Amino acid sequence: MYLFSIARPHTADDTADGAAKPPRRRALFLLSGNVFALGTVSLITDISSEMVTAVLPVYLMIGLHLSPTVYGVVDGTYTGATALLRLVGGYVADRARRRKFVAGLGYGLSALAKLGLLAVGNSVGAIGAVIAIDRTGKGLRTAPRDALITLSTAPQYYGRAFGVHRMMDTVGAFAGPLVALGILAATGQAYDAVFVASFCIAAFGVLVLMLFVRDRRGEQPPKGTVTPSAVGRLVRLAPVRRLVLAACLAGMVTIGDGFVYLLLQRREELNVGWFPLLAVGTNLSYLLLATPLGVLADKIGRQKVVLGGYIALMLVYLLLFGPVRGWPLLVLVLALYGLFYAATDGVLIALAGPVLPSGVRTTGIALIQTGQAMSYLVSSVLFGLAWTMWGPTNAIRIAAALVAIAVLVVALLLSGIPATDTGKEQPA
């Protein structure tokens, strides 16, 4: 079982000269057991999360008749409103050297939020508050979790480590909507049953984290390294600054899953009962592509794979107002959307890992993720406004044009980032 080490765990210090490299043909399976343990926690947690979130867009816009603008605010809140807590979580985890504890706190908070859905009823404000609590948990846990992956893996294998983790994570995202539909069918559309089951599954994920994930501290930073001024010092490093700018720009041109699926549903006039399965299609593509693209990123360059992912996103937007219709449109959009996530989500953090000093690595990852999430918040609100003012077709045309411009700028920013640095400070 992969919850236990199947090889000696790699640490950031394994990058030193003379570090042994595993045989090429077995490198993927010689990842640390910590990577698989963290992947298992993410798998279980995503089953819980996707049980709830798969139906939110159609519930809010069709069930509660929210306008696209209001939905854009809610959707942006879901990802971006608590983004600053990523920095808090990253800083506290580095300062206390307790990455596992901070990650566990985040997972636990998200689990408790599932129970909150039982009490909120149809109140949009209360739903938003529960979503904010859930995202607070995600904000706290994401950077410590990703830092643990880098500290448990040799830098030359960051791409495949994040690919394996994101693949396991996506197994949960793939299964979650199916589990929710099964529960609804078995209970006569009792949403309370979905929320209770979601909480129980999330609590089990926290238990797995406590029992099987091991903290990794890496090299001890000099006294005074982890201070509030650490963020400022990180931004002064040229590669980190480029990564933050690239992440922010990428977030600004990403409109959000809910809008993509709503556009598909409207264009093809799909029955709302099929709506959750759109996320399942995307997650299946992500699941199949995450590990191969992670391995490919280590071989041909992580920058190339990230850029390829955003080209796939541009194609998704173009297809949403192009001539293709029917099942070919559904297959192409969901396949390319999954490719986009597989090529960018973990690979961007794998690209960041080697250039972040290990003593403040969690803070650095959190800084990048915060910039992207805050930009996504702005993007969701603006796209909702564009939909309301100019209609969905014109809004998605504008989004496609902006992605095309962003690809060129991100290519320039990422071109100056070294691929094999081991976390030493770079000149500004």
Query: What is the tens place of the pLDDT at every residue in 181-228?
Result: 888 788 877 777 888 899 999 999 999 999 999 987 655 555 455 566
Mean pLDDT value across residues 399-408 = 93
- Write down the residue that tokens 């003379």 correspond to: 18
CB count, 10 Å around CB of 407?
A: 20
CA proximity to 221, closest of 424, 369, 420: 424
- Residue pair 413/105 in contact (Cβ under 8 Å)? The answer is no
- Percent of the chain at pLDDT > 70 equals 78
What CA–CA distances, in Å, run from 48 to 117, 165, 172, 183, 402? Answer: 13, 17, 8, 12, 34
pLDDT score of 364: 82
Query: What is the tens place of the pLDDT at every residue in 74-124?
Result: 666 656 556 667 777 777 777 777 889 989 999 999 998 888 877 776 666
As a whole number, the mean pLDDT across the chain is: 79
Query: What is the tens place of the pLDDT at every residue in 238-268?
Result: 888 888 899 899 888 888 788 888 888 888 8
Distance CA 142, CA 147 (A): 9
Q: Considering just the CA atoms, what is the radius of gyration of the chain in Å?
A: 21
- Residue pair 414/306 in contact (Cβ under 8 Å)? The answer is yes
The alpha carbon dihedral of 60, 55, 82, 134 has a sign of: positive
Mean pLDDT value across residues 273-285 = 80
CB count, 10 Å around CB of 428?
A: 9
Structure letter (DSSP) for residue 61: I
- The encoded tokens of residue 133 equal 């609590």
So what CATH class is 30-217+227-414?
mainly alpha
The string over 365-399, giving b where at least 16 C-beta atoms fall within 10 Å of a residue's C-beta and e elsewhere, is bbbbbbbbbbbbbebbbbbbbbbbeeebeebbbeb
Distance CA 363, CA 310 (A): 25
Domain extents for the chain?
30-217+227-414
